[in-house]
Amino acid sequence: MIPYPLLTVSLIVMWLTLNAFTLGHLLLGTLIAVFAGWALAALRPEKPKIRKWHLLPILAFRVMVDILRSNAAVALLILRGKRRPHTAAFITIPLEIEHPVALAAMSVILTSTPGSAWLAYDSRQKTVLIHVLDLVDEEAWVAAIKQRYESLLLEIIE
C-alpha cells in the first residue's frame, strides 16, 4: 500500500508547510504523497535501511559546522585574491560506503562544503575523485572525511 513510508510522510509534511495545516490539505497532501510513493516504487530504487536514527542529528550538526567553517575559509581565500597563493589539488579517496543513498549523502556533504567538490565516483575501485581548493595536508584531509562523515554514514545506512 505505502512502499516508502518515510517519503510519504515527508511529502505530507511538505504539502502542509507549503499550504496550511488544515484537514482539507491533509487529505489532499496524503493523496498526492501516496501516489508519489507508487510512482517512485515503479522506478524500483534500492531502499536504504536506516539503522541508527539517533546518529542523524549528530551528522547534520557536524556537517553544518564544517560547512560554516569552510564558508569562512573560502570567503577569506577569495577576498585575499592573489596575495596569498593557494594550492588547488585533486585527491582520490577510497570509500567504504557502497549504498547509493550513502554515496548520495556523501556527495551532498562534500559539494555543499565550499572547499571541496565531488568530481567522479569509481564504482569498480570504490574511490572518489575530489577537487580541493586549498590543500595543505592530503592525509589529514582523507582522514578527516573518513572519520567525520564516513564512519557515521556507515553506521546509519545499511
Q: Which residues bind other proteins (CB under 8 A)?
A: 14, 17-18, 67-68, 70-71, 74-75, 77-79, 81, 88, 90, 92, 107-108, 111-120, 125, 129, 131, 133
CB of 66 to other proteins, least distance (A): 10
Three cell numbers, residue 41: 516504487
Per the CB < 8 A criterion, the answer to whether 156 and 109 are in contact is no
Smallest distance, other proteins to C-beta of residue 12, A: 13
Q: Which is nearer to other proteins, 96 or 122 (by Cβ)?
A: 122
CB 99 within 8 Å of CB 158 = yes
Grid coordinates in use for 108? 551532498
Whether residue 157 contacts residue 105, with contact meaning beta carbons closer than 8 Å, is answered with yes
CA atoms within 13 A on the CB side of 17: 6
Residue-level length of the chain: 158
Residue 1 or 82 having the CB closest to other proteins: 82
- Least Å distance, CB 1 to other proteins, is 26
Cβ distance to other proteins smaller for residue 30 or 107: 107
Look at residues 150, 153, 152, 155 and name the one whose alpha carbon lies nearest to residue 93: 150
Cβ closest to other proteins, residue 21 vs residue 53: 21
Rounded to the nearest whole angstrom, what is the least distance from the CB of residue 93 to other proteins in the complex? 10
